[in-house]
Amino acid sequence: MAELVIKDLHVDVDTESGPKEILKGVDLTVGDGQVHAIMGPNGSGKSTLAYAVAGHPKYTITRGSVSLDGVDITALPVDERARAGLFLGMQYPVEVPGVSMANFLRTAKTALSGEAPRVRTWPEQVNEALTAMDLSSDFAERSVNEGFSGGEKKRGEIAQLELLDPRTAILDEIDSGLDIDALKVVSAGIVDYSRKPGKSVLLITHYTRILRYVHPDRVHVFVDGRVKITGGAELADNLEERGYEQYVK
């Protein structure tokens, strides 16, 4: 099971001049087995939602709740949210100099599952996940995201998704900076993941392009820290034609 329930979520971000409210009451439920897309203009709070749900310390939940399969994770630290089954693919994946992908993945997998991955099968699994994302096996020995191109970082996030096998994946602009071939590869990875039993996906994007490959069950338009309107895939087509302007005021 992987039902993500966000209720009346209000979030402040820490700024130099004090806390600023960015999310102003977000209600959203991604059912088990579903893919939902969040679309919205720049600065509407999409990444803030992703970070707040994942438990980033810079973002303070002042009201509302987040639960995963009925377990309230609102107050949990970031590592416990991950253990509860939450994965965040970041808009700007972080570089970790000196830590190889292989070590990072092994450590993360161990932390998540409570035991080290099997020595016999794990390297092959890593290799397969990288290959599926069109990344050569020497990426396993490179420092996490260091010197990766934008597209390589995003493909690396999906390789992580495949290997860490969380219950719920929030993917923040996973499609930005991808050329058409990489978009297809990344989309195929997301579709494969979403079709496994007991998964759910929240796909944050500016563009409808990725939704031609990853078909969402629901599309939410996010404006000024709230879900402004929710619909089916046809809502994305409408946005393609008419833009966000119609929803902004």
What is the C-alpha separation between 234 and 73, in angstroms, rounded? Answer: 32
H/E element holding 132?
helix 122-132
Name the minimum Å distance from CB 205 to Mg ion.
10
What is the C-alpha separation between 187 and 210, in angstroms, rounded? Answer: 7
**52: CB partners within 8 A, 6+ apart:** 9, 11, 23, 59, 61, 66
Strand order in the sheet with 59-68: 18-30, 4-15, 59-68, 71-72
Write out the binding residues for Mg ion, residues 34-53 only, by CB under 5 A: 42, 46-47
Name the minimum Å distance from CB 39 to ligand ADP.
10
- Strands 59-68, 200-205: pairing is unpaired
**70: CB partners within 8 A, 6+ apart:** 3
Partner in contact with 137, chosen from ligand ADP, Mg ion, none, beta carbon below 5 to 8 Å by kind: none
What is the C-alpha separation between 210 and 200, in angstroms, rounded? Answer: 17
Three-state DSSP class for 65? strand
Residue nearer to Mg ion on the CB measure, 91 or 100: 91
Partner in contact with 44, chosen from Mg ion, ligand ADP, none, beta carbon below 5 to 8 Å by kind: ligand ADP
Name the minimum Å distance from CB 24 to ligand ADP.
11
Write out the binding residues for Mg ion, residues 52-91 only, by CB under 5 A: 91
Query: Nearest CA to 171 among 225, 210, 125?
Result: 210
Residue nearer to ligand ADP on the CB measure, 48 or 145: 48
Three-state DSSP class for 43? coil
Determine if 223 is a binding residue for ligand ADP (CB under 6 A): no
Write out the binding residues for Mg ion, residues 89-108 only, by CB under 5 A: 91
Residue nearer to ligand ADP on the CB measure, 92 or 107: 92
Figure out which of the listed residues 13, 61, 78, 223 binds ligand ADP, where binding follows CB under 6 A: 13
What is the C-alpha separation between 168 and 70, in angstroms, rounded? Answer: 13
Binding mask 165-194 for Mg ion (x = CB under 5 A): ------------------------------
Residue nearer to ligand ADP on the CB measure, 56 or 184: 56
Binding mask 31-50 for ligand ADP (x = CB under 6 A): ---------x-xxxxxxx--
Determine if 19 is a binding residue for ligand ADP (CB under 6 A): no
Which pair of tokens denotes residue 234? 């046809």
Residue nearer to Mg ion on the CB measure, 160 or 205: 205
Question: Binding residues for ligand ADP, per CB under 6 A?
Answer: 13, 15, 22, 40, 42-48, 58
Question: Binding residues for Mg ion, per CB under 5 A?
Answer: 42, 46-47, 91
